[in-house]
Structure 1
Amino acid sequence: MSEERKSVETKDETVLAGLGYKQEFKRAFTPWESFGIAFSIIGLLPSMASTLSFSLSNGGPVSMVWGWAVVAFFVMFIALALSELASAAPTSGGLYFWTYKYSSPRWRHLTSWIVGYCNTMGSIGGVASIIWGCAVQLMAAVSIGSGMTFVPTTAQLFAVFVALLVLNGIIASTATRVLARLQGIYATINLVLCLAIIIAIPAATPKEFKNTASYALGGFANLSSWPNGWAFILGFLAPLWTIGGFDGPIHISEEVSNARTAVPWAIVTSIGIAGILGWVINVVLAFYMGTDTAGILSSPIGQPMAAIFFNSFGTRPTLVVWSVVVITQFMMGTSATVSTSRQMFAFARDGALPFSRLLYRINARTRTPVACVWAAVLGAFAFGLLAFAGPTAISAIFDLPVIGQYLAFSIPIVARFTGGRPWRSGPFNLGSWGLPVGIIAVLWQAFNIVVVSFPSSTDPTPNTMNYTAAVSGGWIIFCLGYFFCPRYGGKYWFKGPRANIEIEDASQSESGSVDEKERGA
């Protein structure tokens, strides 16, 4: 190891110690690999494939192109606000740690508890939705290979989902150095796949599927019963879910070299690149998918983007391209599981999760939180059981990450400006722009929590009802019940982040950490 790198790692450890934690992970992630985990979790093309049906049925080309542009623009405000916080206090606990640090003493125990549990729900829901999408994509490949004669049952899809989850857990349990190198590979494959599709579709699509500019950029196809304006807004779910999970670098910040700079830039650059590339891909699809959106959605392939590829490339080339999409989606799942396990590890380190003593463990061989990896897999499995309640119920796992993460993102941003606690910025600093950026970020997230809770039709039935509010609401009721439970609830023993290292002089720490009494240790 070079002297320069040793110096950087020593500085990272000093910053972490100032936050009250000892260095337990190896700092094996480079800035490029930190970007890689964010961009891999976004998993641009496979994520777009998993959610294309939402924009196709709620606006068609207009929703795909302009709905994406609106969402990408506003999501950047969230990225900027979180990046300031990540630069000021880079720890795997991230969101709930910042909530506790900056909230008023009266509310910080409850708010950090809520944020931690919302972050956990959103992260596990993200793993479940990614792997479920991968299972659907894999079965779509089987359908294409069978000449559209094979239609998977729910039980078959669930079996594939479980198998992928287990394989995903095995990979996510490997050593930090291995996981770090994989993120660089994942990011490269994601970028190459996006560029290949942007070039290949215009070159290969038959004339009958090519659209005019007026249709591609202005065609509106509303297959829902909602008015056109609201249908367009409901189409936001596709880019909202796709450009999500970008808190991944935050949760591996104790494994990143030069975390105070690398983590915020990983968040901002991943969102920027995903926003631009995703918009270009949507424009290409709108120009070369034909005009029969209903036909694409009802294709026997069972996957709208696979149907578009089939129309453009034919059977064999589609299978080749689609196999890369499936592999990339699976890579996305392993990255999301790594991020989720680190968040759960940090929350268990502070004693907030059930079975925290079992979860707060570093595997002696891999130096990773293997117990938390498999806890995340088990939680994703539980969410996957929604498949047996019907297609509408399973679609709730695509909304859950949005609600869980947006609640967890919003509260620390609000706490920073309203809690009255001292603020000391890190190297990534917006200066006077921090407040307006934070306000826009919070308002945007509040609006979209409402949007993703709406049903797909104006007259919902048990089969068309949006169960997201019920599932996420049930989770929040559980976390509040656990907090206020008489005698045994977190209200009586949760004291926020707990230092596991002695701080000799916190006032001199670069991180601006609070002292032991203030942290409730």
Structure 2
Amino acid sequence: MAIRASANSKSQPSADETTLAELGYKQEFRREFTPLEVSGLAFSYIGVVPSIVSVLFYAVPNGGPFAMVWGWAIASPFIMCIGLAMAELASAAPTSGGLYYWTYSLASPRCRNFLSWIVGYSNTIETITGVASVNWACAIQITAAIRIASSDQEYATTTGQLYGIYAALVFSHAILVSFGTKFLARLQRLYTFVNMSLCFIIIIALPIGTSPEYRNSASFALGDFTNLSGWPSGFAFILSLMAPLYTIGGYDASVHMSEEASNAATAIPWAIVSSIALAAVLGWGINVSLAFCMGTDVSGVLNGPIGQPMAQILFNALGQRTSLGLWCLIISAEYMVASNCLLVGSRQTFAFARDGALPFSRYLYRMNRYTGTPVNTVWFGAVCVLAIGLLAFVSIEAINAVFSIAVTASYVAYITPITTRFAFKNDFKPGPFTLGKLSLPVAVIAVSWMVFMITVFFFPATPQTTPQQMNYTVVVLGGTMFLAISWYYCPVYGGVHWFSGPIANITPSIGGEQRDGDSMSEKKEQRDGDLSVSVMDV
């Protein structure tokens, strides 16, 4: 039975609901995220300090202080170009499906189903492996805290113990993210406060508390280039750029919260831009602070007994007790980042399942009657993350290779809609956030940068490497894309036979006008009964 709103049963829909209806979807989430909270989520998703902790080993051996400081400064403008290009698309079509929806809408009818499929799977894989990588990093940092607390810093954990910590983190996140939207929205205030405070502690308090023997001169902190990787210095510096790229990532985080945010067409793009700007400025300040407080023994920082460059810097500069307290705060921030990763990933999975593209979509596309959130996709993501973690029992290289997908797969997902906007003939209409004539040059810079850096991601850490030390990113990414393409073209059961892009779940009557026949209203389907809703029948 169709549900139809009337003047007696429902008030006039909000602007957000009307915009979503024009994109083909009914309002299923509660819009509890304020613009400030969705910006806080985007910033907390980046998690500047805990992310720098996890990737500092890319910068330290590939240029030392010079790479830490100036690599960040060089990469940040290119990252902002990616964010600006994404923000324009998000403003024009603020939906949780985000990237694959934009791809379908902007690509040629001849290839839009296939491209939308590839982007959707790349984005889903990115979000799930992102949860895994952050939780694994958090587990490693917990073991580093134990080393800091021990007298000789030689505490060693087994793979089983590490996986146990990892699994406990994942289960706790799944429980937390299963709560209602209002609770999760208000939680962002705490997350933002903790992450922001941690940035200022490192920038301001670390130099004040550092013992004189570890304070560096400006010439060393800003100009010393230490190459421990074996690559030529120029290429080593390029490899160091992976640190800011890994840190300031996940620009699509706020996009997947579009259907839970108020004033989404404006709030989402500004959340993308503001989070990148804040992370770029604060991250650069943190790297400068670390460069001035790390001492001159770069090799000792990289290969110290604690096993984490950042932890070693804090331990040397602040001593055991202070560094342990600060490290525990960093672990707390990492925990918050991981919970937001699962939150965002569950919304992407829900959106893709809503359009019938995932296995078990019938079960994943469900709202919990008590929380009003897609609890099924939360636990689906958690189970996938637990399965990915089992690769640690194969080898550390195997699990690290899978985690690298979080960046490379995201770039595949970002490049495609940005490119299709200009590569195909379409009727793209900008939203409230627009770059005007700068749109094309910004997009060109963004895509060129991502293509270049994807290539860099495929190189190993050192030129002389063993099969165990190789960078298997290209193998894992290629294998993942091969599986996605094989599933699409699989005889009889493949997506080519049934996937037709985003599917409208609302009647096409918007403001009394029928939507364009080439739009997604032509493909609306019945799901679990009649889901059609007339949003303007008043």
**Smaller-chain TM-score range?**
over 0.9
Q: Secondary structure at the match of 2:509?
A: coil
| Alignment map for 1:162-201 (pairs within 5 Å) | 162-201=167-206
Please state if 1:390 is matched with 2:408: no
For the 8 Å contact 1:347–1:353, the answer to whether it is kept is yes
For the 8 Å contact 2:85–2:418, the answer to whether it is kept is yes
Q: 2:261 aligns with which of 249, 256, 264?
A: 256
Q: 1:301 aligns with which of 292, 298, 306?
A: 306
The Cα shift of 1:8 comes to 10
Match in the other structure for 1:413: 418
Q: 1:74 aligns with which of 78, 85, 96?
A: 78
| Alignment map for 1:273-292 (pairs within 5 Å) | 273-292=278-297
Q: 1:155 aligns with which of 160, 163, 168?
A: 160
Distance in 2 between residues matched to 1:288 and 1:39, nearest whole Å: 26
| Alignment map for 1:315-330 (pairs within 5 Å) | 315-330=320-335
1:3-59 superposed Cα distances (whole Å, 9 cap, x missing partner): xxx999711000000111010000000001101111111000000001111111111
Q: Secondary structure at the match of 1:252?
A: helix
Q: Secondary structure at the match of 2:156?
A: coil
Distance in 2 between residues matched to 1:279 and 1:478, nearest whole Å: 39
The Cα shift of 1:506 comes to 7.8
Match in the other structure for 1:138: 142
Match in the other structure for 1:114: 118
For the 8 Å contact 1:119–1:404, the answer to whether it is kept is yes
Amino acid at match of 2:370: R
Distance in 2 between residues matched to 1:320 and 1:507, nearest whole Å: 61
Which stretch shifts more, 309-318 or 265-274? Answer: 309-318
Distance in 2 between residues matched to 1:465 and 1:207, nearest whole Å: 39
For the 8 Å contact 1:169–1:337, the answer to whether it is kept is yes
Q: Secondary structure at the match of 1:331?
A: helix
Which stretch shifts more, 286-295 or 91-100? Answer: 286-295
Which stretch shifts more, 157-166 or 101-110? Answer: 157-166
The Cα shift of 1:245 comes to 1.2
Distance in 1 between residues matched to 2:490 and 2:56, nearest whole Å: 42
Q: Which runs of 5+ in 2 are unaligned?
A: 1-9, 526-538
1:235-266 superposed Cα distances (whole Å, 9 cap, x missing partner): 11211111011211100100000000000000
The Cα shift of 1:512 comes to 9.7
Distance in 1 between residues matched to 2:11 and 2:263, nearest whole Å: 10
- TM-score (normalizing by structure 2): 0.93
The Cα shift of 1:394 comes to 2.9
Match in the other structure for 2:61: 57
Amino acid at match of 1:212: S
Distance in 2 between residues matched to 1:298 and 1:185, nearest whole Å: 34
CA RMSD of aligned residues (A): 1.9
For the 8 Å contact 1:18–1:513, the answer to whether it is kept is no
Q: Secondary structure at the match of 2:179?
A: coil
The Cα shift of 1:399 comes to 2.1
Q: 1:370 aligns with which of 357, 370, 375?
A: 375
Distance in 2 between residues matched to 1:513 and 1:166, nearest whole Å: 45
For the 8 Å contact 2:71–2:237, the answer to whether it is kept is yes
Distance in 1 between residues matched to 2:13 and 2:209, nearest whole Å: 49
For the 8 Å contact 1:22–1:501, the answer to whether it is kept is yes
| Alignment map for 1:16-95 (pairs within 5 Å) | 16-95=20-99
Which stretch shifts more, 290-299 or 91-100? Answer: 290-299
Distance in 2 between residues matched to 1:444 and 1:375, nearest whole Å: 33
Distance in 2 between residues matched to 1:81 and 1:499, nearest whole Å: 26
For the 8 Å contact 1:71–1:239, the answer to whether it is kept is yes
Mark the structure with the bigger radius of gyration.
2
Match in the other structure for 2:342: 337
Q: 2:493 aligns with which of 484, 488, 492?
A: 488
Match in the other structure for 1:3: none
Match in the other structure for 2:362: 357
Q: 1:102 aligns with which of 98, 101, 106?
A: 106
- TM-score (normalizing by structure 1): 0.96
Distance in 2 between residues matched to 1:242 and 1:293, nearest whole Å: 21
Distance in 1 between residues matched to 2:159 and 2:272, nearest whole Å: 36
Match in the other structure for 1:439: 444
For the 8 Å contact 2:24–2:521, the answer to whether it is kept is no
The Cα shift of 1:74 comes to 0.4
Q: Secondary structure at the match of 2:383?
A: helix
1:46-101 superposed Cα distances (whole Å, 9 cap, x missing partner): 00001111111111112111111121110000100000000000000000000000
Amino acid at match of 1:180: A
For the 8 Å contact 1:31–1:257, the answer to whether it is kept is yes
For the 8 Å contact 2:135–2:338, the answer to whether it is kept is yes
Distance in 2 between residues matched to 1:157 and 1:68, nearest whole Å: 31
Distance in 1 between residues matched to 2:517 and 2:202, nearest whole Å: 47
1:486-509 superposed Cα distances (whole Å, 9 cap, x missing partner): 011000000000000001148969
Distance in 1 between residues matched to 2:175 and 2:32, nearest whole Å: 19
Which stretch shifts more, 492-501 or 465-474? Answer: 465-474
Distance in 2 between residues matched to 1:36 and 1:8, nearest whole Å: 30
Amino acid at match of 1:420: K
For the 8 Å contact 1:41–1:336, the answer to whether it is kept is yes
Which stretch shifts more, 181-190 or 479-488? Answer: 181-190
The Cα shift of 1:300 comes to 1.6
1:329-381 superposed Cα distances (whole Å, 9 cap, x missing partner): 00000001110000000000000011111111111111111111111112222
The Cα shift of 1:122 comes to 1.0
Amino acid at match of 1:215: F
* C-alpha spacing 1:254/1:229, structure 2 compared with 1 (3 Å): same
Amino acid at match of 1:119: N
Q: 1:127 aligns with which of 93, 116, 131?
A: 131
Please state if 1:456 is matched with 2:469: no
Which stretch shifts more, 479-488 or 149-158? Answer: 149-158
Q: Secondary structure at the match of 2:237?
A: helix
Aligned length: 515
Q: Which runs of 5+ in 1 are unaligned?
A: 1-5
* C-alpha spacing 1:485/1:60, structure 2 compared with 1 (3 Å): same
Distance in 1 between residues matched to 2:343 and 2:414, nearest whole Å: 19
Q: Secondary structure at the match of 2:14?
A: helix
Greater fraction helix: 1
Please state if 1:425 is matched with 2:430: yes
